[in-house]
Structure formats: structure tokens, C-alpha cells
Structure 1
Amino acid sequence: MASQQPLFRSVASIIVRRPPITAASLTHTGRTTPDQDPHSLDRHPQLPIYLLVKKPRKHNAWQFPQGGVDPGETVLQAALRELEEECGSHIKVHPVESQPSCHYQYEFPPAFIATHKRKHTGAKVEFIRSNWVSGQCQPDGEEIVDYAWLMESEVKQYVTPEYHNAIKSLFSYPWQPSL
């Protein structure tokens, strides 16, 4: 009997990058040490920082905002919808591209497949890059339980080695809109 090929669920992810900012545009949250507060948009104003969100689970909890692509949606449309669903309607971004820059593909653990009774045996996550425009992440406390604005060097400390390996090249790509 031939082995069954994995069936991967199409997932859209959005990388939100706050570009370097000037002192005049700092939000002045009142915190005396914004560089140490991972929730602060004022962190490291001279460097870009990236939004990661935390799912309510023990393993592989931190990732860029993401979710399944619905029938008829493009990856870009799904990524923007998922950003709003997971981070609230206050955060605004400008996509840098209309097509994914890279992808990360993985198989679900057998226990997950059995528990969730899904036809998919894994996921193919496609990443869309965007620049932050305004607003702050406001997680719902259920699907997303925390968030962090991180420097590129900090992202590796939050995600799995496989995930980081899939996305690390995206940090060096030009972030000017090509739409």
C-alpha cells in the first residue's frame, strides 16, 4: 500500500515591522525604560522591531500573526484579516508585497491530528511582509494571550529553530513597498 501524501493547510502570516523612528515620533508611554518593555512601540527607536504574538499553548506559542486562508481569499487578504482578528482593528499596516516572500511547511503531531479530527496533516505558512503605520496590538486574551515588539536578534529567542530558519532571510530583504 502506498504511503499517503501529507495534505497541508494553507496558512497566511503577516510580518509587521515598525521601521526605525525619530525621537519626535515616539509615543511617550510614560515608561522610563521602553527598551526593556516588549509591549512598547518605543523600543529601540533607532532599529526596526517586529510584532510577535503568543498563542495559548505550551509549545510553539510565539509566531507572527497568522491563520488559515479561506476559500476565495488571497494570501495577502487572509494575512490582513488575521492581523485584525488576532491583534484588533487599531493596528494599521502597509503591505510591502502582494505575494508571499517565503514559506514554512510542517506536519502536525499525530496527537493533534487525532484530537482535532482535521483532514490536513500539516500546514504551509506563507509570509507577507508589512510596515507598521499606526496603532497597537490588542490581543483578545483567548486566541492571542500576549504580544511583543522585538528586534531581529530577539525573535530567535521566542520561536522554534525551524521557524526562525524559515524566516531569517526576510529580515535582510528591502522593506520598501513594491505593490
Structure 2
Amino acid sequence: MGKFYQFARAIVYCFIKPLFRVEVIGKEHFPMDGAVLLCSNHINNLDPPTIGIVSPRQLRFMAKEELFNIPVFSLIVRALGAFPVKRGFSDREALRTGLKILKEREVLAIFPEGTRSKTGELGKGLAGAGFFALRSDCVVLPCAVVSSYKPFRKTKVIFGPAIDFTSYRNKKISAEEATDKIMTEIRNLLEKYR
């Protein structure tokens, strides 16, 4: 974990943890080494920092390109290891960057839905999650955030058991099918802990 990331994480932790009474479930499922693709539902702009402060390893978030156009904020986001993705079509540069992160045995964190859910319900996942799961030797860590993000109401971050995708790679399933399997695991966590 980089020094700036640790510093920023500690500052954010002091605000988010008590304000939203963050509870972590399943932290023992988080792999402490090797390539990990963390896939979570997305309900609020506070999801990335909330997941980040409770994760035992540094997360490299794929974030919408618009965030990198905001002066000063873009410098902070880049310093924290995030990288931009153009939404709405296949962004080859973002896919290459994501694969490079996994090849370097880091944790790539993505929201397979591609955008925040307006209803709070889990939407359909995009093929990018399946692409990363199938084109690298990572394990997939399903994650669910259950929260209203109202002050002093409990927020839960749940990590499910890591999924080994080796058999799916051998079966040569499609990226869409792989994403569907990931979304099923996230849905199961939401149903269990809501």
C-alpha cells in the first residue's frame, strides 16, 4: 500500500466509519496476495471510499472518465491509483490498464453495472467484468454494499468467498456468461444481508 494511499485512507476512515457505522462482513474471504478482481454493486458515490477503507489491500478503481476532468480532484484520484474508463462503448485503453493491474497481481475494483443504480436494486452487469475474469489469472471477489448512506444508519460491506475462474476459462465461456455468474454472487450477498 502506497504512503499517500495509506494517508488518504486513514483520513477518510475517520469520517466515513463513524458517520455511516460501517460494518464489514467476510473480511476473511479477501485474498491477501495475488491478482484479485473485486466486483461490487454500485448505489452511491461513497461506495469506492467505503469499500476502500475496509479492504486490507490497496484497490485500483476503474472510474468514469468525467472524474478525471475535475481540476485537483483528478490529481487525487490518480494518486490513489484509479484510472479512467470511457463509458458507453469498449474502451481498449482501460481494458489494457485493467489487465496490466491484474498481471501485476494487484486488486482491480470495478462496478460491473457500469453506473450507479437509481433504484438501489442490482442491475445487469456489463461484459467488462467477465472479460477481466476470463483474460487474467485472477480470482473474483464478489462484494456487496448495503446502505442508505444516511448519517448514523448502519452500512454493511460484505465480501463473499473468492471465486476461482479456472474451470470457466477452460470451458471458454463468453464474457457475458462470466459476468452473469459474478452478478449472481453479488445478488446472493445482497439477498442474504439486506
> Which structure has more helix as a fraction of its residues?
2
The TM-score, its normalising length taken from structure 2, stands at 0.22
